[in-house]
Structures are given as C-alpha cells and as structure tokens.
Structure 1
Amino acid sequence: MAVASTKDVGSQAAPAKPANDFGFLPIPRRCRYDPERPFEWSTALNWMLALGATVTVAPVYYCQPILVQLSQRYAVEYETVTRVPSLVQGGYLVGLVFITPLGDLLPRRPLLLTLILVCSALTIGQALAPDFSTFEAITFLVGISTVTPQVLVPLTADLAPAARRASAVSVTVSGLIGGMVWGRLISGLLARYTPSPNNVFWLALGQQILLAVLLWWRLPAYPAKKTGLNYPQILWSMVKLFCTKPVLTQACLLGFCSCFTMVAWWTTLTFLLDGDPFRLNAFEIGLFGLTGICAIAFAPFAGRLTDIFHPWATTLVALIVALLNQAIALGAARLNLAPVIICCILVDIAHQTQTIGNQQRFFAVDPLARSRVNGVYMTFTFLGQTAGSSAGPRLFLNSGWRSCYALTTAMIAAALVILFLRGPHATGWIGWDGVWSLRKERQAPAIVDVEKKGGEVERRTDEEETKVEGEADTGSPDPVAVTGSVESQKVHG
C-alpha cells in the first residue's frame, strides 16, 4: 500500500490532532490525524469512497423511473412532472458552485458528514410533502445537498499515489455510476411492488444514515488544505481557473455536451418505454437501469488505460462510441427493444469514460485546487444535465423521439469538434503544437515554489518537496509550506 502524501492533502504542517468533529462528536482514535503516523492509501479506503458516492448520488436519480407515479400522486400533467429531474439537477448545480469548493477550504470529514445528514433530513420531507409545489422545493434542496460525490472524487485524487491516480479515481467514479443504477433500479422496484413511491425515500433515508455511521467510523480525519484563501477568494479562483486554464475550459465544454446527451436519454426513456410499441410498466422500465452495471465494470478498466495512454485519447474513443450510440438511437430507438438496450449500455460507458479522461487531465492543473477544478468541471456537466433533462423530454413530447435524438447526436458531434480544436499536447487554447502523437507525455518533475522561514523562496522539484514533507510528518521542527502553484514541465514522447 502507498502512503498518502501530505502534500497531496494540502497539509504541510498540521501538528494539531483534533479529537472531535463539530467540536463535540468524538473521532475514533484510528481515524485521527497524526503527522507522525501518516494514513495509508488502500483499496479498502478506495472502495469505501466509491460506496459513499453510490449512496449519496442515488437521490438525484430516484425520481426518473417514477415520474408517471408522481404525476398520479399529485394529479399533475406529464409535462409538469418533468420539472422534477430539472429541479434536482439544478439544485446539484447550485451545490457544485457553492458547496464543493469547501473541499479546498475545510476538513473534508466533517463536511461530508454534514452533507449526508442534511440530505437525510430533506429526504424525509420528500416522503411527507403534501403537494407538488412543496415536493418540488424540497427536491431542489435535495439536489444541493447531494454533491457529496464531488467532494469524494477530488479527495481520491488527492490521496492516491500519482501512478495510480486515474485508476483510483475511476473506482470512485464507478461508485457514481453505481448510484445511477441503484437509484433507477430500486425506485422502479419499490414503485412496482410497494403501495407507494414514497417508500423509495424512506429507503434512501436509512441508507444515508448507515453511510454516515460508516464514514464516522472509518474515514481518516485529514486536515484542511492550506490554500491561504477565504471563501469568497475560493469562489473567485474558480472563475479564474476556468478562464486561464485551456485544458479545464475544453474539458468543461466536453462535459456539458456529454452530460446533456446522457441525461436527455435517461429522462426520455420513461416516455419511450411507456408508449407504443413497448407499453412497459414502472418496474420493467426500472430494470433498464441494470444496464449501468456494464459501465460500473468498465470504469476501472478505463482508469487503467488512462494511467497508460494519454487521457485525450481516452476521451476521443469515448466520444466516438457516444456518436455511434446516438446514431443507433436516432435510427431505431422506437422500432425494437434491442437498440434501446444497446443505447442504455453504451450511453453510460461513453459518458463515464470521457469523464475519467477529462479528470486525469485537469486534476494536474493545481494539486491544491482539485476540489475547485472538479467543481468547475462538474458545474458545466450539470449545466448540461439540467439542460438535457429539460430540453430532452420537452422535445420528445412535443416533436417526437427522432427530433430529440437528432439533437443529442448533434451535441456529441459538437463535442468531437471541440476536442479536435485542441490536441493532447497543446499548451495554448487551440492547436496541436506540431505534435500529432497520441502517446502519453512523460512528466518531468514538477517545480514547486517553497517559502521558508524568513520569507526566502526556494524552488524544488516535486520529489524533493515530498521528501521534505515526509520529514515534517516525522516531527521536523521546521516544516515548510507550499505557497506557489505547480507547473508541470512536459516532455513529449
């Protein structure tokens, strides 16, 4: 097992050993931070983070298979009930902008516990909402509180060894996919075999309480990152990162197109299968969520490939698969169940694979800003999801299925154009810099500006700085603090 670098978690010198979360909740002794005994990165910790992503992202998807039942429960039209997926996605977007940056400011253990407990309380409100307007308002708040996975993913990138980072992140991302599958499947099952669709919300409550207990018992209490920024500065830095980092800007636009397509497919699937010629019930529609198991199984494999090959190439392959998939949907989605099943399998695989490729690229922008760059990226992806969950069903219901899937096909085509405008080794905003190879570039040691006592600044390589931090972890009386940004020097193959 590889020992997590203190530099990666942004805590170069943290002699304090807090014994309580929130000032009153005891932290189990094994989970307390001790600079003399660094925590170890392990497969078990990786899969616990993945489980956390599964349970906490599922509330975003519980409503998708039961839209028909919700319209009957509150006596509203189909077009009215389609606002529910848009509201939860919109709430998620608000959480991405204002909550996930806190991962670069606050200790992540109490932040994660707070989000889970708040979401649990709101889930009770969803089950007890007396009218549709109240249900909509609570669903929007649920979306805000379910950004927990977007704290877990950059936490994984911070803690995993660099050589295994893409693989580790892909495992946590597979938990995200698992949450999509679980949310859609269990929602359809409970709607079919229990008297009320409300039961899915009670199940969600129990799952989140159990997860909160598990994280309290096992999640290491890593200190907060030392960014030197306050909350308004953290938020403003996200804007600056988007405007000054070409690789992040490109990834954001790709994520928007990909998420628009994925969510438009899943939110219209209920109407596609409920109508002619299929006429499936909620339970049968929910079973289609099982196709996401293929994406769960493929995500770690995509991560291993991204650790070997250039992540730009990973994104390219994913978008080509997505384009072929949308062509199948456009040509045959309402003719037979076989193309529908194929599209359900490939839409999640393509989306998650391009996400893994994008994350491997933009996580290298700044190790102390991984929560922020992930927040910027996920903001754009959920802008895409919000747009897809709104435009997709409206176009499907008003203009037909072919019009809807023609739009999603065009979105993927646009993503491919954006990808090719900036090659894998480009340093500017557009172009390939004369390098056409898709091989992964070798990384020279990163250069870090280090401020020592007395204000003297010394430039060290990433490896040298890690050694210094290791000495600080073992009790060095003169720890250093990283104040500059990391600038990777690329050597093309």
Structure 2
Amino acid sequence: MSRRVLLLLAVACGVAVGNVYFPQAVSPLVAAGLGVPPDSAALVVTATQLGYSLGIFLLVPLGDRLPHRPLIVSLVAVTAVSLLAAGAAPGLPPLVGASVLIGVTTVIAPVIGPMAAGLVAADRRGEVSGTLLAGSIGGMLLARTFAGNVGEWLGWRAPYLVAGALTAVLAVVLAYVVPKSAPATRQRYPSLIIEPLRLLRAEPELRRSCFYQATIFGGFSAVWTTVALLLTGPTYGMGAEAVGWLALVGAATMVCTPIAGRQVDRRGSDPINLVCMIGVIASAAVLIPGVLGGWVGLAALVVGTLLLDVAMQSGMVANLVRVYALRPDARSRLNTAYMTCAYLGGTLGSWAGTRAYTTLGWLGVCGLVGLLGAVALAVHTGLPRPEPSVSADA
C-alpha cells in the first residue's frame, strides 16, 4: 500500500467520522430551529452514535466476507442520501430517524482499518493505525468547526446538506482509490454477525480492549455532548460556532496519534493504555473550572478537552494494535466486536452526560468522566495482562 493511498484512505475516514460528530456542534441550533428543548435535540447526537454502533455490528463483519471496494463505495453512497434526507427533515422524529441511518452506514473507518492492517507488515500496524486515526480525528474536529460556523450563518440544515454533497463526491473518489481485495471467509451472513460475540467470549484480550475503550469513550462523548449546552447556555452565552472552535483545539491529536502508534510498535499496548487512563482522570480535574465561565473557564475547557482528546485517541491506537494481532483471518470481525462495544459506551456516555448535566450541571459531567477513567484504571492495574505476540503476517 503506497503512502498516497494511505493518505487518501485517512481522508475518507475523516469524512465518514465527521458525519458522526458534527451534530454535536449543531444540536442547540436544532433545538431553536425545530422548537424543541435542548436536551431533546441532543437525541440527534445519541441517535447517530447508536446507529453507528448498529452499523458496526451489522455491516463491518462484511469486510471479511465481501470485496472491500464495492462494500465501501455502497456504504458511502447511502450515507450521502441519508445526510440529504436529514437536512430536509420537517421535525425532530424524522431527523432522529435519519440520524440513525447516517450512523448505520457511515462505518467505513472500521472497515478500512482492518483492510489496511492486512496490507502492511506487522511492525507497521501501529503507524498505519495511527495515520488512519489521525485522519478520523481531523474529520471529527473540522466537522465540528465547519458545522458550528455554517450552522450559525445558514441554519442547522446547511451542515447536513453540505456534508451530503461532500460524501457523494467521496463515493466517486473511493471507487477508484480503494485497493481490490478478495474475501477472507465464505461464512454465511448470520454466522458472520454472530462471530464477534463468539470472539468476545473466546478472547480475553479483546474483552479487555473493549472495556477500556467503552469506558474512556463514554467519558469523551459525555463531555462533547454537553459542552455545547454549556457554551451556548447562560454561563457563556456563546453561539454554536464556539463549539466548533473549541473542537479545533484538539487538532494536536492528529500529531499525537501517529506518535502513539510508533510507541505502541516499540513498547506494546499496555504502557500506552496506562498513560492514557491517567490522562483521562487528569482531564476531568482540569475541566472543573469550566463551570466558572469567563476566560478562566474557557482556558480550562481548552486544556481539558485537549488532554481528554489526546488520551482517548492514543488509547484507541493501543487497543486496536492489540486487537488486530489476535486473529489475522478475522480482523473485521474483531474490529466489529471492539468498535461496537466502544460506541455503545459512547452512546451511554452521551445519554449519561446529558442526564448529569441536566441534574448536576457541568460539575456532574466532570465527575462522570473522572469516575469512568478511574474504573478503567482500576481494571488495568488490577488484572494480569499478558501482552499477545504480534503476528508476522502482512
């Protein structure tokens, strides 16, 4: 796999992941535009993440069963149509339904990841996973900034319509870029989607990686679902574009994740996981002054969200490398189990974060993040964890 193809695949991951995250920046605009309470509008974010979890479980295993190029292009094309439908939704229920469909079909990043891992030597998987994740991060950050600014100027529908057009262009590009591949298995679909559950039962290292990412990603989602409510509420009184600019600060993670990948290649996954969990707990403490408002509060939000982003994304690289090393013939199914658990954790985190913010305010969200990080750290330090040997296959 050439460097040019890898970079194009990273861009594709960024566009796809951006479709999951940009609703976080426009949920206050959805509330105002459709005349619904802010916590009801936040259901759009939760619905997209729930759909993403379903898509990972139902569609990502097909990466082991079907050639990658037609699978990826088809998913991207359906995502484009779903985004356009969301932009034309007349009310909240149709928007929530379209958001679920967007999430279900915009799962090309977890399809591309295992494909790319199989195209490089074992000692480059951390680097390649980090590069693809950097692309995903770039899409996530730019999507929030784009959606917040465009939505503030043109209304909440505009980000969906523009994203739909860009995703349609991406489908055409990927039809020529995605490498041709042969299926890794001929399993029938019912047994294919059950296989991730069997792998979860059979592989303790997979279960461990899933637990780590579900808890940490839950805290991450809790913060980014509720920070829009904080910034647009009475404490700060800002517009939706402020969420996008805050998210853009996390661009440093695009540099950190390839570095984390190289460190995983050299040192193994466990030391990186440990540092990242400590970083998540520290981020919860740093975020607390965000409740004060003003420049002090903004500084706390900038530093805290940056630390949280770097810790979560670097930990994901460590977990992915551990997972990909377990069964080279079943990487898509392993990734299905891992990513499904991760995004179910994120969905629950979004829901719990909204409840915590409604009940206890920003301090409740910070407490939730710290608790989730502490639980992950307690499990990590309390259980024996033999590092699996890395397969030498390409």
Report the counterpart of residue 52 of structure 1 in structure 2: 12
Q: How does 1:253-332 map to 2 (within 5 A)?
A: 253-329=211-287, 331-332=288-289
Q: How does 1:46-445 map to 2 (within 5 A)?
A: 46-194=6-154, 196-225=155-184, 227-329=185-287, 331-335=288-292, 336-425=297-386
Report the counterpart of residue 479 of structure 1 in structure 2: none
TM-score, normalised to structure 1, is 0.77
> Which is higher, the Rg of structure 1 or of structure 2?
1
Conserved? CA contact 2:280–2:369, under 8 Å: no
Conserved? CA contact 2:268–2:387, under 8 Å: no
Conserved? CA contact 1:49–1:172, under 8 Å: yes
Letter in 2 for 1:287: W
Query: Higher relative contact order at CA 8 Å, sep ≥6: structure 1 or structure 2?
Result: 2
> Once the two structures are superposed, what CA deviation does each residue of 1:133-185 show, in whole Å capped at 9, x if it has no partner?
11111111111011111101111111122111110111001111112102111
| Cα distance in 1, alignment partners of residues 250 and 170 from structure 2 | 22
Shift, 1:53, TM fit:
0.3
Shift, 1:281, TM fit:
1.1
> Once the two structures are superposed, what CA deviation does each residue of 1:57-111 show, in whole Å capped at 9, x if it has no partner?
1111121111111011111111211211111111111101100000011111000
| Cα distance in 1, alignment partners of residues 85 and 170 from structure 2 | 19
Shift, 1:426, TM fit:
6.0
Letter in 2 for 1:257: T
| Cα distance in 2, alignment partners of residues 303 and 426 from structure 1 | 16
Shift, 1:308, TM fit:
0.8
Which blocks of at least 5 consecutive residues in structure 2 are unaligned? Answer: none
Conserved? CA contact 2:218–2:348, under 8 Å: yes
**What SS does the corresponding residue of 1:337 show, helix, strand or coil?**
helix
Moved over 2 A (4+): 421-427
Larger strand share, 1 or 2:
1
| Distance 1:426-1:120 versus aligned 2 partners, 3 A rule | closer
Aligned residues with identical type, % of pairs: 28
TM-score, normalised to structure 2, is 0.95
Q: How does 1:19-58 map to 2 (within 5 A)?
A: 41-58=1-18
| Distance 1:201-1:426 versus aligned 2 partners, 3 A rule | closer
Conserved? CA contact 2:141–2:244, under 8 Å: no
Conserved? CA contact 2:225–2:354, under 8 Å: yes
Shift, 1:276, TM fit:
3.8
Shift, 1:421, TM fit:
3.0
Letter in 2 for 1:124: L
Larger helix share, 1 or 2:
2
| Cα distance in 2, alignment partners of residues 109 and 228 from structure 1 | 17
**What SS does the corresponding residue of 2:179 show, helix, strand or coil?**
coil
Report the counterpart of residue 430 of structure 1 in structure 2: none
Conserved? CA contact 1:86–1:390, under 8 Å: yes
Shift, 1:424, TM fit:
4.1
| Cα distance in 1, alignment partners of residues 243 and 14 from structure 2 | 20
| Cα distance in 2, alignment partners of residues 349 and 168 from structure 1 | 17
| Cα distance in 1, alignment partners of residues 114 and 156 from structure 2 | 34
> Once the two structures are superposed, what CA deviation does each residue of 1:200-250 show, in whole Å capped at 9, x if it has no partner?
11211221122112111222211121x242211212221111011010000
Letter in 2 for 1:319: M
> Once the two structures are superposed, what CA deviation does each residue of 1:426-485 show, in whole Å capped at 9, x if it has no partner?
68xxxxxxxxxxxxx7x6xx6xxxxxxxxxxxxxxx67xx8xxxxxxxxxxxxxxxxxxx
Letter in 1 for 2:177: R
Letter in 2 for 1:421: G
**What SS does the corresponding residue of 1:384 show, helix, strand or coil?**
helix
Shift, 1:333, TM fit:
2.0
| Cα distance in 1, alignment partners of residues 124 and 64 from structure 2 | 22
Conserved? CA contact 1:310–1:424, under 8 Å: no
**What SS does the corresponding residue of 1:115 show, helix, strand or coil?**
helix
Conserved? CA contact 1:180–1:292, under 8 Å: no
| Cα distance in 2, alignment partners of residues 419 and 176 from structure 1 | 26
| Cα distance in 1, alignment partners of residues 211 and 291 from structure 2 | 30
Conserved? CA contact 1:64–1:184, under 8 Å: yes
RMSD: 1.5
| Cα distance in 2, alignment partners of residues 205 and 362 from structure 1 | 32
Shift, 1:422, TM fit:
3.1
Q: What is the number of equivalent residue pairs in this alignment? A: 390
